């Protein structure tokens, strides 16, 4: 049923797209044509972008500088071209418009936001990738991290949950280069130049650009915090002009992307009888019971429930709204934004919960106010104030427990709900756990409130009166965080069904428990952070010689209740950057960071992290021919050292822990007099006086190229990193040492790979189109981790990727008695049987045991991620499509997520119907599961860690698709509307993967997680 509804949703989504095409209304447009020329020498300009202001409608001039476009007479055309000043021309009654464009040297100086400043893109030598606001708002998702995957080379993202408020992706830049795969390998995040804990609560409509810094040249300025890469977010500011008002609304429906295919009661009972026989027992279900399950004639005592279908809604709603206004005068510019996001959960509690709702719900309110003020031509200020407020609701039990119970529950344990009554159990029916609905309904709910306030105030003053190009700047930031959680628990009435003594075919509903009042508890959390930086900048050209320099001081202080020893966290450091280029042809750059924190011992709290990079723009050389084919080549390379002080969240590891009481002790005194028990004490963790940060040595070599007048852009990077001083526990300590030893800086990891980005844009008449693609590979290897010697070389973890899975190598099944007779013995069963998994005896000792385990599959974080997007625009229509995929990644699923009849009565899925039986083997039917048996555990032969249960989690998704129409006519203009854009888009629309039952981004384990969601969305944007 659910699959039919999903197909219907896709069908309706397609119909909405068609309606947008057929419903688009045209005003009385006119066709305008002309030629674009250079005002400097009169030559024609090919590839000029001509855009109808306030819309996405436009065209490009051809090879002779000619263009043609159909537009409303009331509109304005905007002409833009690299290296020239943009021009705006009002259409009016003109049908022929020849336009001259004047050179703009400043346009050639396009800048990119980098650490603690900006750099000209043409002369930049670091590895930096960026994305703009247009791509970010195309995805109808709750947070920014889910909008980025597949769009930026070098950025790897995994979304392991779809639960409202907890559905963010885990982000890594160029993979993982440390032994710690959690938050310790996450990138540093800065918003408007200040480190922030997360990017996921920012409204995407507030963002101007998002950049990722990948190599040492780009990240060395962050010193001890830059080894994992950096994400820089720059929010929008206003520009000179009359106020421009934007309103965007999105209304979407969410649907679970992938759910296990559970067996119905008849299938379950048949398979359960087979498992009983295979386990040496009599069949549990009689023929009469099987028939009742088959025909559904007894819904009380022979129920048939698909718990996913009962507990989850087919669709749940979400909506997002943003209203912003921007503009400015000669001296003041502003951008003000208000945002709202509302996402509902998927639980369907039907009529059994009316006093309150435990269904997940996440609301977020955003506001931002950015002001830029020029006091005079030399002195300016910026004030940025933003806030994010969240209001979320969840059941008393977490999503992991609820989905664990769904997979625990077999289809016949009870009918779930009858006539609004929550059923807790049924007489005579087997059960492996309580009802999943009971877990939602009878454990109350938790309401969480959070607020985040961010304030940045910065000043800048040019010191040209001292020397040209000199300036100073400073910034102060204050962040305040507050959380309030309220928990209310309540038990509601539920019923147990028993057989009527007078008529055993009829049910009697016995009340269980009673409606009780709510219990109440609450908790609070608050913290704050202050930040200061002051810098001196210098930018100047001496003929063909161009020089920039920066010297910066920064400090940060984070305070929260309950910090160790009541000591705030802090950072302090110096940053330096010097760049030099000759004619923007030969490029060089030196960066350094010298910083540290209180988390390390005195004398070892600060570190120096340098980097240098070189670049060469070959197309500036006279011996490199440029023309219609080749337009640009730049080669760049960098080397440097960067640090990582994320050491598992522990603080002051250089200090020993205090002695603390334990459960042991002694009696002292005389019996009958002063005989008394005294508690013992034991030593805590030993201190590590030499603890320090991880140090990464990074190398990067890149090339940037342009062809066919920059219509085709191809960029490629190769990188290598060796990281040492990784904090890790000693693995070769004798057992006689009973002290609690601290981790030490002994680990070493190597990480290397490459990135490729190919972009193309062109036009055919009035149809403008583009194609973008990127591919990233990052492969790591453990070089050292103080691993103890193991019995065989293939058991060593050193030399393999971080997170590598280990297990037995499967080789089909035992299908005949001859195969069993020749099989090695198994340390995990007394006697092998037909239909058991056959494993490879790696050491050929005649026994399958733990010494036969080898590396299997890949790690649970993808080594490869890629994206392919394309789109186009014709008159008022525009569309875009993003395909995204991952490769070289595995996920291990076990227990009730993979095994039938876990603990005897847990669920079974469609996969288990393809189990091994003698009949299926002889008939040549597909066999993808061993013989079924009761109570599978990881200690039994068939369920040992092995590649049989390891799934290939590679996938390709239709990640995002959007189609839109821009309405422009005289009626809308009279209402003050410059553009009305109506669009339909979706996220996670289709997935191709070999994963069974679960989404390929599912976390490893037994399947107890909230599923990822597919989203269908309709929206509009109105601009005044």
pLDDT for 56 = 66
From the list 889, 827, 822, 897, the residue with the least C-alpha distance to 858 is 889
Per-residue model confidence as pLDDT tens digits over 237-295: 998 888 999 999 999 999 999 999 999 999 999 999 999 999 999 999 999 999 999 99
* pLDDT class of 12 with cuts at 50, 70, 90: very low
Angstrom distance (rounded) from CA 271 to CA 915: 10
Per-residue model confidence as pLDDT tens digits over 578-599: 999 999 999 999 999 999 988 8
Mean pLDDT of 198-208: 92
Tally Cβ neighbours within 10 Å of residue 536.
14
Mean pLDDT of 939-957: 95
* pLDDT class of 651 with cuts at 50, 70, 90: confident
C-alpha distance from residue 237 to each of 244, 336, 337, 532 (Å):
12, 9, 10, 22
pLDDT for 557 = 94
pLDDT for 581 = 94
Which positions ≥6 away from 1007 have C-beta within 8 Å? 260, 403, 404, 407, 893, 895, 896, 897, 898, 997, 998
Extended strands (E) in 329-444 = 332-344, 361-374, 379-395, 417-418, 421-426
Residue 106: pLDDT over 60:
no
Residue 16: pLDDT over 80:
no
pLDDT for 107 = 44
Q: How many helices (DSSP H) and strands (DSSP E) are in the chain?
A: 12, 52
Contact 479, 455 (CB under 8 A): yes
The strand pair at 332-344 and 507-512 is best described as unpaired
Task: At 521, list the tokens.
Answer: 């508890």
Residue 115: pLDDT over 80:
yes
pLDDT for 647 = 77
Owner of token pair 């008695």: 817
pLDDT for 13 = 45
The strand pair at 825-826 and 847-848 is best described as parallel
Residue 1017: pLDDT over 80:
yes
Task: Return the DSSP state at 220.
Answer: G
* pLDDT class of 914 with cuts at 50, 70, 90: very high
Mean pLDDT of 755-774: 92
Mean pLDDT of 622-635: 89
Angstrom distance (rounded) from CA 752 to CA 780: 6
Angstrom distance (rounded) from CA 341 to CA 336: 17
* pLDDT class of 893 with cuts at 50, 70, 90: very high
Angstrom distance (rounded) from CA 837 to CA 850: 15
Residue 976: pLDDT over 90:
no
Comparing 680 with 944, which gets the higher pLDDT? 944
Residue 11: pLDDT over 50:
no
Which positions ≥6 away from 504 have C-beta within 8 Å? none
Q: What is the number of alpha carbons within 13 Å of residue 915 lying toward its C-beta? A: 26
Contact 371, 333 (CB under 8 A): yes
pLDDT for 350 = 67
Backbone angles phi, psi at 14, to 5 degrees: -65, -40
Backbone angles phi, psi at 921, to 5 degrees: -65, -45
Comparing 120 with 943, which gets the higher pLDDT? 943
Buried/exposed 880-918: b ≥16 CB within 10 Å, e otherwise: bbbbbbbbbbbbbbbbbbbbbbbebbbbbbebbbebbbe
Span of 512-516, 796-800, 911-915 with lowest mean pLDDT: 512-516
SS3 10: helix
pLDDT for 21 = 39
Residue 932: pLDDT over 50:
yes
Residue 221: pLDDT over 90:
yes
pLDDT for 842 = 94
From the list 690, 716, 694, the residue with the least C-alpha distance to 704 is 716
Angstrom distance (rounded) from CA 451 to CA 253: 27
Per-residue model confidence as pLDDT tens digits over 833-861: 999 999 999 999 999 999 999 999 999 99
Angstrom distance (rounded) from CA 422 to CA 351: 9
From the list 641, 636, 780, the residue with the least C-alpha distance to 127 is 636
Task: Return the DSSP state at 943.
Answer: G
Contact 243, 327 (CB under 8 A): yes
Q: Catalogue all structural domains in the chain, each as residue range(s) with its CATH number.
A: 29-101 (2.60.40.1120), 111-247 (2.170.130.10), 260-452+483-524 (no CATH)
């Amino acid at each position: 049923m659910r699959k039919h509804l999903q197909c219907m949703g896709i069908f309706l989504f397609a119909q909405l797209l068609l309606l947008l095409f057929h419903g688009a209304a045209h005003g009385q447009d006119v066709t305008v044509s002309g030629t674009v020329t250079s005002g400097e020498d009169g030559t024609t300009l090919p590839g000029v972008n001509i855009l109808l202001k306030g819309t996405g409608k436009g065209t490009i001039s051809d090879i002779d500088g000619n263009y043609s476009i159909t537009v409303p007479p009331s509109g304005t055309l905007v002409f833009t071209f690299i290296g020239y000043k943009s021009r705006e021309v009002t259409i009016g009654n003109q049908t022929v418009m020849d336009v001259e464009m004047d050179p703009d040297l400043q346009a050639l100086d396009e800048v990119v936001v980098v650490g603690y400043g900006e750099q000209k893109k043409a002369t930049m030598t670091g590895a930096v990738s960026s994305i703009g606001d247009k791509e970010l708002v195309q995805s109808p998702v709750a947070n920014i991290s889910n909008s980025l995957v597949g769009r930026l080379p070098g950025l790897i993202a995994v979304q392991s949950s779809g639960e409202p408020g907890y559905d963010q992706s885990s982000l890594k830049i160029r993979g993982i280069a440390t032994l710690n795969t959690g938050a310790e390998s996450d990138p540093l995040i800065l918003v408007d130049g200040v480190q922030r804990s997360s990017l996921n609560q920012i409204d995407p409509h507030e963002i101007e650009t998002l950049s990722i810094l990948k190599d040492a040249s780009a990240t060395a300025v962050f010193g001890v915090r830059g080894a994992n890469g950096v994400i820089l977010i720059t929010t929008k500011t206003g520009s000179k002009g009359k106020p421009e008002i934007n309103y965007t609304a999105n209304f979407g429906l969410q649907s679970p992307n992938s759910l296990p295919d559970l067996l119905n009661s008849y299938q379950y009972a048949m398979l359960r009888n087979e498992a009983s026989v295979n386990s040496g027992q009599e069949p549990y279900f009689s023929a009469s019971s099987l028939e009742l399950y088959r025909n559904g004639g007894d819904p009380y005592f022979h129920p048939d429930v698909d718990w996913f279908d009962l507990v989850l809604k087919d669709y749940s709603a979400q909506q997002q709204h943003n209203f912003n206004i921007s503009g400015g005068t000669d001296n003041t510019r502003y951008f003000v934004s208000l945002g709202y996001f509302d996402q509902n959960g998927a639980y369907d509690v039907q009529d059994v919960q009316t006093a309150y709702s435990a269904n997940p719900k996440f609301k977020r309110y955003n506001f931002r106010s950015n002001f830029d003020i020029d006091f005079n031509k030399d002195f300016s200020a910026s004030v940025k104030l933003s806030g994010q407020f969240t209001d979320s609701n969840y059941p008393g039990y977490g999503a992991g427990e609820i989905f664990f119970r769904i997979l625990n529950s077999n289809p016949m344990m009870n009918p779930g709900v009858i006539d609004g009554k929550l059923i807790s159990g049924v007489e005579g029916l087997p059960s492996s756990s309580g009802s999943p609905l009971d877990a939602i309904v009878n454990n109350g709910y938790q309401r969480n409130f959070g607020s985040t306030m961010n304030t940045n105030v910065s000043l800048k003053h040019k010191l040209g009166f001292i020397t040209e190009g000199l300036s100073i700047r400073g910034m102060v930031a204050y962040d305040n965080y507050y959380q309030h959680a309220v928990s209310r628990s309540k038990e509601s009435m539920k019923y147990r069904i028993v057989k009527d003594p007078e008529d055993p075919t009829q049910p009697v509903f016995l009340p269980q428990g009673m409606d009780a009042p709510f219990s109440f508890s609450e908790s609070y959390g608050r913290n704050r952070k202050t930040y200061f930086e002051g810098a001196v900048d210098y930018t100047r050209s001496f003929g063909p010689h161009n020089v920039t320099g920066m010297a910066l001081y920064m400090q940060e202080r984070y305070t929260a209740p309950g910090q160790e020893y009541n000591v705030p966290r802090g950072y302090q450091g110096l940053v330096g950057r010097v760049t030099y280029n000759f004619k923007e042809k030969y490029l060089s750059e030196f960066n350094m960071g010298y910083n540290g924190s209180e988390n390390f011992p005195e004398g070892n709290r600060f570190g120096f992290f340098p980097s240098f990079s070189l670049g060469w723009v070959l197309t500036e050389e006279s011996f490199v021919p440029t023309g219609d084919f080749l337009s640009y080549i730049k080669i760049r390379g960098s080397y440097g050292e960067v640090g990582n002080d994320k050491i598992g969240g522990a603080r002051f590891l250089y200090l020993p822990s205090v002695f603390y009481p334990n459960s042991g002790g002694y009696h002292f005194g005389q019996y009958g007099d002063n005989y008394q028990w005294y508690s013992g004490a034991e030593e805590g963790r030993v201190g590590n006086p030499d603890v320090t940060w991880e140090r990464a040595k990074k190398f990067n070599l890149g090339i940037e190229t342009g062809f066919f007048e920059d219509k085709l852009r191809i960029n490629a990077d190769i990188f290598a990193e060796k990281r040492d001083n990784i904090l890790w526990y000693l693995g070769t300590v004798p057992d006689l040492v009973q002290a609690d030893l601290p981790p030490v800086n002994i680990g070493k990891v190597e990480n290397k790979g490459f990135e490729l980005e190919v972009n193309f844009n062109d036009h055919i008449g009035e149809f403008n189109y583009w194609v973008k693609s990127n591919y990233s590979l990052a492969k790591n290897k453990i070089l050292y981790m103080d691993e103890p010697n193991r019995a065989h070389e293939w058991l060593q973890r050193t030399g393999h990727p971080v997170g590598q899975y280990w297990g037995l190598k499967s080789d089909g099944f035992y299908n005949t008695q001859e195969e069993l007779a020749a099989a090695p013995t198994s340390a995990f069963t007394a006697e092998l049987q037909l239909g058991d998994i056959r494993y490879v005896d790696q050491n050929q000792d005649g026994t399958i045991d733990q010494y036969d385990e080898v590396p299997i599959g890949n790690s649970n974080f993808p080594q490869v991620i890629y994206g392919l997007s394309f789109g186009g625009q014709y008159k008022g229509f525009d569309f875009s499509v993003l395909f995204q995929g991952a490769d070289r990644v595995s996920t291990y699923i076990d227990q009730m997520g993979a095994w039938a009849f876990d603990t005897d009565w847990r669920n079974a899925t469609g996969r288990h119907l393809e189990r091994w039986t003698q009949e299926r083997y002889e008939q040549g039917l597909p066999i993808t599961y061993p013989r079924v048996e009761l109570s599978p555990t990881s200690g039994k032969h068939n369920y040992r860690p092995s590649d049989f249960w390891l799934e290939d989690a590679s996938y390709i998704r239709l990640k995002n698709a959007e189609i839109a129409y821009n309405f422009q006519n005289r009626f809308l203009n009279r209402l003050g509307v410059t553009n009305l854009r109506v669009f339909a888009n979706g996220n996670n629309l289709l997935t191709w993967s070999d994963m069974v039952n679960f989404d390929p981004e599912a976390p490893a384990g037994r399947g107890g997680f909230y599923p990822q969601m597919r989203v269908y969305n309709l929206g509009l944007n109105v601009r005044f």
